[in-house]
Amino acid sequence: MSNLRDVAHRQFLRLQDEICKAMATLDGHPFAEAQWDRPGGGGGRSRVIQDGRVFEKAGVNVSAVHGVLPPEARAAMRARKADLPDTDAFFATGISLVMHPHNPMAPTVHLNYRYFELGDGSEPAAWWVGGGADLTPAYLFEDDARHFHACHKQACDKHDPSFYPRFKRWCDDYFTLRHRGERRGIGGIFFDDLADRPALELFDFQRDCGEAFLSAYLPILERRLDLPFTDAQRQWQQLRRGRYVEFNLVWDRGTVFGLKTDARVESVLMSLPLTARWEVDHQPEPDSPEARLLAVLREPVDWIPLEPRSG
Protein backbone atom coordinates (compact mmCIF):
# COMPACT_ATOMS: atom_id res chain seq x y z
CA MET A 1 0.00 0.00 0.00
CA SER A 2 1.03 3.62 -0.51
CA ASN A 3 1.48 5.57 2.69
CA LEU A 4 -1.91 7.31 2.37
CA ARG A 5 -3.65 3.98 1.81
CA ASP A 6 -2.02 2.46 4.87
CA VAL A 7 -2.71 5.46 7.13
CA ALA A 8 -6.39 5.54 6.19
CA HIS A 9 -6.89 1.78 6.54
CA ARG A 10 -5.24 1.59 9.94
CA GLN A 11 -7.30 4.51 11.19
CA PHE A 12 -10.52 2.74 10.20
CA LEU A 13 -9.41 -0.52 11.87
CA ARG A 14 -8.70 1.33 15.13
CA LEU A 15 -12.13 2.98 15.04
CA GLN A 16 -13.80 -0.38 14.38
CA ASP A 17 -12.08 -1.86 17.44
CA GLU A 18 -13.09 1.08 19.64
CA ILE A 19 -16.76 1.05 18.60
CA CYS A 20 -17.13 -2.74 18.73
CA LYS A 21 -15.64 -2.91 22.22
CA ALA A 22 -18.11 -0.32 23.56
CA MET A 23 -21.16 -1.80 21.83
CA ALA A 24 -20.38 -5.38 22.78
CA THR A 25 -20.05 -4.30 26.41
CA LEU A 26 -23.45 -2.61 26.27
CA ASP A 27 -25.18 -5.47 24.49
CA GLY A 28 -23.56 -8.26 26.50
CA HIS A 29 -22.80 -10.24 23.33
CA PRO A 30 -19.58 -10.27 21.31
CA PHE A 31 -19.46 -9.39 17.64
CA ALA A 32 -19.07 -12.36 15.32
CA GLU A 33 -16.18 -11.65 13.00
CA ALA A 34 -15.63 -12.67 9.37
CA GLN A 35 -12.43 -11.99 7.44
CA TRP A 36 -13.08 -11.99 3.70
CA ASP A 37 -11.16 -11.70 0.44
CA ARG A 38 -12.40 -9.95 -2.67
CA PRO A 39 -11.79 -11.87 -5.92
CA GLY A 40 -10.46 -8.78 -7.73
CA GLY A 41 -8.12 -7.72 -4.92
CA GLY A 42 -8.23 -6.82 -1.24
CA GLY A 43 -10.81 -7.77 1.36
CA GLY A 44 -12.19 -6.80 4.72
CA ARG A 45 -13.09 -7.49 8.33
CA SER A 46 -16.82 -7.63 9.10
CA ARG A 47 -18.28 -7.79 12.61
CA VAL A 48 -21.96 -8.39 13.42
CA ILE A 49 -24.22 -8.83 16.45
CA GLN A 50 -27.51 -10.46 15.52
CA ASP A 51 -30.41 -11.00 17.96
CA GLY A 52 -28.49 -9.50 20.84
CA ARG A 53 -29.92 -8.00 24.05
CA VAL A 54 -29.91 -4.42 22.75
CA PHE A 55 -29.46 -4.86 19.02
CA GLU A 56 -31.63 -6.79 16.66
CA LYS A 57 -28.73 -6.33 14.25
CA ALA A 58 -25.54 -4.29 14.47
CA GLY A 59 -22.65 -4.46 12.03
CA VAL A 60 -19.30 -2.70 11.75
CA ASN A 61 -17.29 -3.34 8.58
CA VAL A 62 -13.84 -2.27 7.45
CA SER A 63 -12.65 -2.98 3.92
CA ALA A 64 -9.64 -2.22 1.73
CA VAL A 65 -10.18 -3.23 -1.88
CA HIS A 66 -8.35 -2.56 -5.13
CA GLY A 67 -8.39 -3.52 -8.78
CA VAL A 68 -10.02 -2.24 -11.96
CA LEU A 69 -13.18 -0.13 -11.91
CA PRO A 70 -16.16 -1.58 -13.76
CA PRO A 71 -17.40 0.79 -16.51
CA GLU A 72 -20.68 1.53 -14.70
CA ALA A 73 -18.84 2.47 -11.47
CA ARG A 74 -16.51 4.77 -13.39
CA ALA A 75 -19.45 6.36 -15.22
CA ALA A 76 -21.17 7.08 -11.88
CA MET A 77 -18.01 8.74 -10.57
CA ARG A 78 -17.55 10.83 -13.70
CA ALA A 79 -21.09 12.14 -13.28
CA ARG A 80 -19.86 13.73 -10.01
CA LYS A 81 -16.23 14.44 -10.95
CA ALA A 82 -15.79 15.40 -14.60
CA ASP A 83 -11.99 15.77 -14.26
CA LEU A 84 -11.17 12.14 -13.43
CA PRO A 85 -7.76 11.00 -14.71
CA ASP A 86 -7.65 8.41 -17.47
CA THR A 87 -7.13 5.29 -15.35
CA ASP A 88 -9.35 2.46 -14.19
CA ALA A 89 -7.05 1.29 -11.38
CA PHE A 90 -8.55 2.06 -7.98
CA PHE A 91 -8.15 1.58 -4.24
CA ALA A 92 -10.88 2.14 -1.66
CA THR A 93 -10.84 1.71 2.10
CA GLY A 94 -13.49 2.62 4.62
CA ILE A 95 -15.50 1.85 7.71
CA SER A 96 -19.26 1.41 7.61
CA LEU A 97 -21.64 0.65 10.45
CA VAL A 98 -25.38 0.37 10.94
CA MET A 99 -27.07 -0.46 14.26
CA HIS A 100 -30.73 -1.42 14.58
CA PRO A 101 -31.86 -1.66 18.23
CA HIS A 102 -34.82 -3.83 19.26
CA ASN A 103 -36.62 -1.02 21.09
CA PRO A 104 -38.61 1.36 18.82
CA MET A 105 -37.69 4.24 21.15
CA ALA A 106 -33.97 3.71 20.43
CA PRO A 107 -32.88 5.06 17.04
CA THR A 108 -31.06 3.30 14.25
CA VAL A 109 -27.69 4.86 13.51
CA HIS A 110 -25.36 4.84 10.52
CA LEU A 111 -21.70 5.82 10.12
CA ASN A 112 -19.41 5.64 7.12
CA TYR A 113 -15.98 7.12 6.42
CA ARG A 114 -13.87 6.28 3.38
CA TYR A 115 -10.78 7.09 1.33
CA PHE A 116 -10.75 6.55 -2.44
CA GLU A 117 -7.78 6.64 -4.78
CA LEU A 118 -7.26 6.26 -8.52
CA GLY A 119 -3.89 5.04 -9.80
CA ASP A 120 -1.53 2.08 -9.58
CA GLY A 121 -0.53 2.70 -5.96
CA SER A 122 2.83 4.37 -6.50
CA GLU A 123 1.47 7.93 -6.60
CA PRO A 124 -2.27 8.72 -6.58
CA ALA A 125 -3.57 10.04 -9.88
CA ALA A 126 -6.54 11.34 -7.87
CA TRP A 127 -7.86 10.83 -4.36
CA TRP A 128 -10.71 12.00 -2.18
CA VAL A 129 -12.46 11.30 1.12
CA GLY A 130 -16.10 11.07 2.11
CA GLY A 131 -18.49 9.90 4.77
CA GLY A 132 -20.53 10.99 7.74
CA ALA A 133 -22.93 9.79 10.41
CA ASP A 134 -26.71 10.13 10.72
CA LEU A 135 -29.54 9.19 13.07
CA THR A 136 -32.78 7.44 12.08
CA PRO A 137 -35.35 7.35 14.90
CA ALA A 138 -38.79 5.78 14.72
CA TYR A 139 -39.83 8.16 17.53
CA LEU A 140 -38.44 11.66 17.77
CA PHE A 141 -36.88 12.91 20.99
CA GLU A 142 -35.68 16.43 20.31
CA ASP A 143 -33.03 16.30 23.06
CA ASP A 144 -31.52 13.29 21.30
CA ALA A 145 -31.48 15.09 17.98
CA ARG A 146 -29.78 18.15 19.44
CA HIS A 147 -27.21 16.01 21.27
CA PHE A 148 -26.29 13.96 18.20
CA HIS A 149 -25.87 17.07 16.06
CA ALA A 150 -23.98 19.00 18.76
CA CYS A 151 -21.37 16.24 19.08
CA HIS A 152 -20.75 16.24 15.34
CA LYS A 153 -20.69 20.02 15.17
CA GLN A 154 -18.01 20.06 17.85
CA ALA A 155 -15.89 17.61 15.84
CA CYS A 156 -16.37 19.67 12.67
CA ASP A 157 -15.61 22.99 14.36
CA LYS A 158 -12.15 21.74 15.40
CA HIS A 159 -11.22 21.83 11.71
CA ASP A 160 -13.39 24.43 9.99
CA PRO A 161 -16.46 26.30 11.29
CA SER A 162 -18.00 26.07 7.83
CA PHE A 163 -17.96 22.26 7.87
CA TYR A 164 -20.95 21.53 10.10
CA PRO A 165 -23.54 23.77 8.40
CA ARG A 166 -22.33 22.66 4.98
CA PHE A 167 -22.22 18.96 5.77
CA LYS A 168 -25.43 18.98 7.82
CA ARG A 169 -27.36 20.27 4.82
CA TRP A 170 -25.52 17.89 2.51
CA CYS A 171 -26.69 15.07 4.78
CA ASP A 172 -30.31 16.24 4.63
CA ASP A 173 -30.11 16.38 0.84
CA TYR A 174 -28.32 13.06 0.32
CA PHE A 175 -30.39 10.81 2.61
CA THR A 176 -33.62 11.57 0.80
CA LEU A 177 -36.12 9.02 -0.49
CA ARG A 178 -36.93 11.05 -3.57
CA HIS A 179 -39.74 8.74 -4.57
CA ARG A 180 -41.49 9.52 -1.25
CA GLY A 181 -40.47 13.12 -0.65
CA GLU A 182 -39.05 12.41 2.80
CA ARG A 183 -35.68 12.00 4.48
CA ARG A 184 -34.50 8.67 5.81
CA GLY A 185 -33.87 10.14 9.25
CA ILE A 186 -33.07 13.35 11.13
CA GLY A 187 -29.61 13.72 9.65
CA GLY A 188 -26.17 14.39 11.00
CA ILE A 189 -23.28 15.14 8.66
CA PHE A 190 -22.35 13.88 5.19
CA PHE A 191 -19.67 14.87 2.68
CA ASP A 192 -18.11 13.35 -0.40
CA ASP A 193 -15.37 13.95 -2.98
CA LEU A 194 -13.35 16.14 -0.58
CA ALA A 195 -9.78 16.81 -1.71
CA ASP A 196 -9.47 20.55 -1.12
CA ARG A 197 -6.71 20.34 1.51
CA PRO A 198 -3.87 17.93 2.33
CA ALA A 199 -4.97 14.31 2.72
CA LEU A 200 -3.56 13.95 6.23
CA GLU A 201 -5.58 16.98 7.37
CA LEU A 202 -8.74 15.38 6.03
CA PHE A 203 -7.79 12.07 7.67
CA ASP A 204 -7.54 13.95 10.98
CA PHE A 205 -10.98 15.41 10.33
CA GLN A 206 -12.42 11.96 9.64
CA ARG A 207 -10.72 10.62 12.77
CA ASP A 208 -12.27 13.28 14.98
CA CYS A 209 -15.72 12.73 13.46
CA GLY A 210 -15.37 8.97 13.94
CA GLU A 211 -14.27 9.39 17.53
CA ALA A 212 -17.32 11.61 18.16
CA PHE A 213 -19.62 8.70 17.35
CA LEU A 214 -19.68 7.01 20.76
CA SER A 215 -20.25 10.25 22.66
CA ALA A 216 -23.01 11.14 20.17
CA TYR A 217 -24.88 7.81 20.15
CA LEU A 218 -24.22 5.91 23.38
CA PRO A 219 -26.01 8.35 25.74
CA ILE A 220 -29.07 8.30 23.46
CA LEU A 221 -29.07 4.51 23.33
CA GLU A 222 -28.69 4.17 27.09
CA ARG A 223 -31.63 6.53 27.70
CA ARG A 224 -33.97 4.71 25.30
CA LEU A 225 -33.10 1.02 25.20
CA ASP A 226 -35.30 -0.01 28.17
CA LEU A 227 -38.26 2.31 27.63
CA PRO A 228 -41.67 0.57 27.42
CA PHE A 229 -43.35 0.31 24.04
CA THR A 230 -46.54 -1.09 22.51
CA ASP A 231 -47.19 -3.46 19.62
CA ALA A 232 -48.41 -0.48 17.58
CA GLN A 233 -45.13 1.36 18.19
CA ARG A 234 -43.20 -1.72 17.17
CA GLN A 235 -45.24 -1.84 13.96
CA TRP A 236 -44.38 1.80 13.20
CA GLN A 237 -40.71 0.97 13.73
CA GLN A 238 -41.08 -1.81 11.16
CA LEU A 239 -42.57 0.62 8.65
CA ARG A 240 -39.70 3.08 9.17
CA ARG A 241 -37.24 0.24 8.69
CA GLY A 242 -38.93 -0.46 5.39
CA ARG A 243 -38.05 3.09 4.37
CA TYR A 244 -34.46 2.43 5.47
CA VAL A 245 -34.32 -0.59 3.18
CA GLU A 246 -35.75 1.43 0.29
CA PHE A 247 -33.08 4.10 0.58
CA ASN A 248 -30.19 1.68 0.86
CA LEU A 249 -31.25 -0.44 -2.10
CA VAL A 250 -32.48 2.34 -4.40
CA TRP A 251 -30.43 5.47 -3.68
CA ASP A 252 -27.31 4.70 -1.65
CA ARG A 253 -24.13 5.02 -3.73
CA GLY A 254 -22.06 2.91 -1.32
CA THR A 255 -24.39 -0.08 -1.68
CA VAL A 256 -24.34 0.19 -5.45
CA PHE A 257 -20.53 0.56 -5.54
CA GLY A 258 -20.00 -2.46 -3.31
CA LEU A 259 -22.25 -4.71 -5.37
CA LYS A 260 -20.71 -3.55 -8.66
CA THR A 261 -17.14 -4.14 -7.48
CA ASP A 262 -17.65 -7.71 -6.19
CA ALA A 263 -17.34 -6.90 -2.49
CA ARG A 264 -18.68 -9.51 -0.06
CA VAL A 265 -22.46 -9.37 -0.47
CA GLU A 266 -23.14 -10.18 3.20
CA SER A 267 -21.02 -7.21 4.22
CA VAL A 268 -22.52 -4.81 1.67
CA LEU A 269 -26.06 -5.72 2.78
CA MET A 270 -25.20 -5.82 6.48
CA SER A 271 -26.96 -2.45 6.77
CA LEU A 272 -30.38 -4.01 6.22
CA PRO A 273 -32.47 -4.81 9.32
CA LEU A 274 -33.53 -8.34 10.20
CA THR A 275 -37.18 -7.33 10.02
CA ALA A 276 -39.16 -4.61 8.22
CA ARG A 277 -42.71 -3.96 7.04
CA TRP A 278 -44.52 -2.37 4.11
CA GLU A 279 -48.18 -1.36 4.12
CA VAL A 280 -50.21 0.17 1.31
CA ASP A 281 -50.82 3.91 1.86
CA HIS A 282 -50.21 3.91 5.60
CA GLN A 283 -50.98 7.31 7.17
CA PRO A 284 -50.31 8.13 10.84
CA GLU A 285 -53.01 9.74 12.97
CA PRO A 286 -52.94 13.57 12.86
CA ASP A 287 -50.89 15.18 15.68
CA SER A 288 -49.56 11.78 16.77
CA PRO A 289 -45.87 11.16 17.58
CA GLU A 290 -45.66 9.29 14.29
CA ALA A 291 -47.08 12.26 12.36
CA ARG A 292 -44.67 14.64 14.10
CA LEU A 293 -41.72 12.52 13.04
CA LEU A 294 -42.99 12.40 9.48
CA ALA A 295 -43.29 16.20 9.40
CA VAL A 296 -39.60 16.53 10.34
CA LEU A 297 -38.62 13.98 7.71
CA ARG A 298 -40.46 16.00 5.07
CA GLU A 299 -39.05 19.36 6.19
CA PRO A 300 -35.61 19.06 7.88
CA VAL A 301 -34.96 20.94 11.10
CA ASP A 302 -31.76 22.79 11.98
CA TRP A 303 -31.22 21.22 15.40
CA ILE A 304 -28.26 23.54 15.98
CA PRO A 305 -29.00 27.14 14.88
CA LEU A 306 -27.70 27.81 11.36
CA GLU A 307 -28.01 30.52 8.77
CA PRO A 308 -31.46 30.53 7.09
CA ARG A 309 -31.84 28.05 4.27
CA SER A 310 -31.89 29.55 0.80
CA GLY A 311 -34.36 28.61 -1.92
Q: Are 128 and 195 in contact (CB under 8 A)?
A: yes
Catalytic residue among 110, 147, 149, 152: 110
Between CA 241 and CA 237 the distance in angstroms is 6
Q: What is the CA radius of gyration of the chain?
A: 19
Distance of CA 7 to the CA centre of its chain: 21
Q: Are 184 and 177 in contact (CB under 8 A)?
A: yes
Torsion-angle region of 116 (φ positive above 0: left; ψ -120 to 50: alpha; else: beta)? beta
E strand or H helix at 100: strand 89-101
User: For this structure, is 110 an active site residue?
Assistant: yes
Task: Count, in order, helices (H) and strands (E) of the chain.
Answer: 9, 9
What count of residues does the chain have? 311
Classified as helix, coil or strand, 304 is coil
Please list the alpha-helical segments (H only) found in the chain.
3-27, 71-80, 142-157, 163-174, 199-224, 231-250, 253-260, 265-268, 289-298
Classified as helix, coil or strand, 305 is coil
Q: Are 44 and 69 in contact (CB under 8 A)?
A: no
Between CA 180 and CA 178 the distance in angstroms is 5
- Indicate which residues carry an active-site annotation: 110
